[in-house]
Amino acid sequence: MREYLPVLMFLAVAIAFAAGTIGLSSIIVPRRSNARKMSAYECGVEPVGNARARFSVKFYLVAVLFILFDIEAVFLYPWAVTFRQLGLVGLIEMMVFIVILLIGYLYLLKKRALEWD
């Protein structure tokens, strides 16, 4: 178990640091609140309405599609780095991968998954 000791120490330091800074700031913070400060933070823009509004389920579809293509695009980077060593075989394999991705993309275009209405 000895090799886990640094992990435990790290954990203890991390908890102490987080608890310490939050605790300290809650003690020494000046409390001068006004209406603007208490309002919800919306990227610096004037807040419009309540933050607990219901979202359209369509966001969910867009988010899922985004994650799908985003993660698959990440696979292109290691290929780009090792492009020379992989040579022609690597090119063919990546083309297969991209074509599969492309078919998925064309399919969702056809199914109008990216159109809002």
Cα end-to-end distance, the chain, whole Å: 58
CA distance 99 to 101: 5
Residue 110, interface with other proteins (CB under 8 A)? yes
* Least distance from other proteins to the Cβ atom of residue 27, Å: 41
Describe the crossing of helices 58-74 and 83-110 by its angle, rounded to 10 degrees. 160
Q: Which of residues 66-85 bind other proteins (CB under 8 A)?
A: 81-82, 85
Site string for other proteins, 31-70 (x = CB under 8 A): ----------------------------------------
